[in-house]
Amino acid sequence: MPDQSSKPRDPPRDALSAILRDFRFDGVSYGQCQLRRPWAISFPAEETARLHLVVEGQAWLGSGGGAWEHLREGDVALLPRGPGHFLADRKDRPAVPIADLSPVEIADHVFDVTVAGRGRRTIMSCCSVGYDGEALKFLIALMPEIIVVRRDDDSDRLLRTLLDGMAQEVSRQRPGAATMLARFADLVIGSIIRGWAERAPDSASGWLAAIRDPNLGRAIAAIHARPGDDWSADRFAAEAGMSRSSFFARFTSMTGQTPARYLAAVRMGIATTLLRQGKSSIAAAAARLGYESEASFSRAYKRIVGHPPSLARARAGASFRRSGAE
């Protein structure tokens, strides 16, 4: 886990702040977990961020890669890419799939998960959150499998306040708790991701290094802010304040792709989100993203995504139901 106590760097923060405006979370679901020993739960892989907050007691969190984290009361763990993982009262406990515990839906996308053992109790809030926005996807792809923020880590006072508020909503179960938890989850996950991006090691490479670069960062932020503009080689370089040849060489070296390919990937990511969510026709998406015709857009989409835009479908909302808990 990166050192959460180090200070954010100033030079790239303007570009990073612009990129992080692309945060968009959706499909929030919760499991309010009352667990008495002995217990162990397995969670399947999902294309979502998964958040586990220990409200009371303790738990072990294990990933498919074999790493284990001991979570104590007040600790929170974020799995940015939603890999298959385990929660248990001890590491060697055989795990039961979450679906086999028959979670009870007590509100829209809010589930009550109970293990009625006789031992010590653990209370957890387990959230599943989908995300959109190409900048956020690029960033999450670079993050570690598990990020843990400890209860005694006070480097981010706002995050600590949010976690305390989330724990209170879980414990008190006041009217409207589900709505409040939805807001808390967005803010908590956004805060953890932002903190990691600001404090990631100096050795960070690839996209994160590029967005931190004073010149490349400006150009990348502009691409995400205005993907439908007429982006020429000269305009790329002008945004970065560099010559065409220097910009092309540095961008390609740091990101592993040309500026034109990067722009196309950003555009198609946005198009996929619009089409899957039913927010745009193919023609409207083409016009919004700077293509001269629906035909040229469709050819580019198929070449980059692998299928025509007509096959894009609404992505299922992240939920405990999608984990098989129906």
Residue 255 has phi, psi (to 5 degrees) of -100, -20
At residue 277 the predicted structure's pLDDT band, cuts being 50, 70 and 90, is confident
Residue 326's pLDDT is what?
40
DSSP labels, 85-139: EEEESSTTSPPEEGGGG--EEEETTEEEEEE--SS-EEEEEEEEEEEE-HHHHHH
Lowest mean pLDDT among 60-69, 145-154, 228-237: 60-69
**Cα→Cα distances 71→60, 239, 304, Å:** 6, 45, 41
Residue 235's pLDDT is what?
96
Domain 206-311 in CATH: superfamily? Homeodomain-like (1.10.10.60)
At residue 315 the predicted structure's pLDDT band, cuts being 50, 70 and 90, is very low
Residue 85 has phi, psi (to 5 degrees) of -160, 175
Residue 89's pLDDT is what?
97
**Cα→Cα distances 29→37, 48, 61, 209, 294, Å:** 25, 11, 19, 33, 36
For the chain, give the percent of residues with pLDDT over 70.
Answer: 85
Task: Find out whether 261 and 303 touch, Cβ atoms under 8 Å.
Answer: no
23 has pLDDT over 90 = no
Which secondary structure element, helix H or strand E, spans residue 25, and what is its range? strand 24-36
316 has pLDDT over 50 = no
Summarize the confidence of residues 150-172 as an average pLDDT: 86
* Digit-coded pLDDT (tens) for 205-235: 688 888 888 899 999 989 988 999 999 999 9
Per-domain residue ranges for the chain? Answer: 13-199, 206-311
User: What dihedral angle (degrees, nearest 10) is formed by the CA atoms of 259, 263, 265, 271?
Assistant: 180
Q: What one-letter code names the amino acid at 77? A: A
Q: What is the rounded distance in angstroms from the CA atom of residue 77 to the CA atom of residue 90?
A: 17
Instruction: Pick the more confident residue, 14 or 211.
Output: 211
For 300, the token pair is 């580019």
For 133, the token pair is 């926005």
At residue 187 the predicted structure's pLDDT band, cuts being 50, 70 and 90, is confident
* Digit-coded pLDDT (tens) for 98-129: 999 988 887 777 788 999 989 999 999 998 88
Helices (H) and strands (E) counted in the chain, each on its own, are 11, 12
At residue 83 the predicted structure's pLDDT band, cuts being 50, 70 and 90, is very high
* Digit-coded pLDDT (tens) for 295-310: 999 999 999 989 899 8
Pairing of the two strands 121-132 and 147-149: unpaired
Nearest to 177 by CA among 321, 57, 55: 55
Highest mean pLDDT among 36-50, 164-178, 273-287: 36-50
What number does CATH give the domain 13-199?
2.60.120.10
Q: What average pLDDT is seen over the chain?
A: 83
Residue 247's pLDDT is what?
96
Q: What is the rounded distance in angstroms from the CA atom of residue 282 to the CA atom of residue 295?
A: 10
Highest mean pLDDT among 102-111, 130-139, 281-290, 312-321: 281-290
